[in-house]
Structure 1
Amino acid sequence: MPEQDIQDSAELITAYFPDLTPAQKAQFAALAELYHFWNQRINVISRKDIHALYERHVLHSLSIGLCYRFQPGQQVVDIGTGGGFPGIPLAILFPETQFILIDSVGKKIRVVQDIIYQLKLVHVEAWQQRAEKLPAACCDYAVSRAVAPLPVLWQWARHILKAGKENGLICLKGGDLSAEIRDCGCQPVIHALYPLLQRDYFQEKYLLFVPV
């Protein structure tokens, strides 16, 4: 795995995903300029984190792709996408999967729509919408990053997920999750991210999968 001293750039992504196409590499490289441009106008990423865009936002989002492989034609909804995470990095990684990125904040969705346009991501849509307003059984997976406690996320996600043994909610979380898991009443599969990524930032970061 890459060492800690790899600089925060698109090269960090290539180190973990060496089979990216030239087009995918170019799309990941373009993220830095796009997010720096928009973050000067709308605070879509914490200003204390913008210097670590690739590690704390892009690679964190892509950790989902180290654990789960979305298939061509599958539908993935990103709940509370904010500035486009994890949806945009995942859409670059899985160019034949359909993504819908939703958030209730219109100005964030407008940023996400522009980034989608600039990257020419034709299989991605961004909507100003709440998860509870989506139609039932509209997606194979729901993904989310640091949006809400697990019981709330599961309440939002379970009605939009299609039945299927591999379908479910995938969420990125940090810290002590015992209370959230207890209150959810479900039994998620838990992946610790530090063994996968071997970088200090991920020492208390986890990926949770809740099957339908």
Structure 2
Amino acid sequence: MITRRWVPASALTAVAVCFVTLVLLASYNPWHYVHLAPFGRTGTVATTLALAPLLLAGAVWLVVGNRLARAVVAAAATLLMLGSCLAGVAYETLSFVDPEPREVSVLGVSPDGRFELVDEHYSVMFMTAVERVRLRSRAGLASRASDQVLGCFEYQTDDARSPSLVLSSARFVGGTEVEIVSGDGVAWTTTFDPETLVAASTLARGCAS
């Protein structure tokens, strides 16, 4: 009977360890992998860290028969779960800038199909919105996003927007050259390294940098 309990207990432990490892790796994500990034979002990390103690507690319950030991494990798991939830809520509440974009759209694809320009929409406190144009590679599971913000536009959402602070369009004008046009019709171009996705220069309209 005890041997049989070790099988599901080991499975629960493995699931908890794998998911915690995945979200922590995704939250760090030094390679900026596009498909790994969603697992590193604040909500996903907080939920995983909250559920992991419950999975581990379930594993312990399966192999430990002592009632007192089970009660201690259940109490510890509950406290860890509540702590993770409170930490996640506090992080979201105290953050001035949403750590993840609320909306991402593809603006253009390079002629050879290897790269794309994406528009990231962020919500900032005090009725301020930010749009960031970023380069990403198109390589299936190995797709990467540039850590560099290629173009940044920041404006107040409750006032008439200045055309110069609004993104009009962004496109590739060559294999490694891009063009960004603001709402006032001014076009700006730059080139980028296809290996590092680092551009020769960046554009900031209304942004601090």
Q: Normalised by the shorter chain, which TM-score bucket?
A: under 0.3
Instruction: Report the TM-score, using the length of structure 1 for normalisation.
Output: 0.25
Higher RCO (Cα < 8 Å, 6 or more apart): 1
TM-score, normalised by the number of residues in structure 2: 0.26
Q: Tell which structure's C-alpha radius of gyration is larger.
A: 2
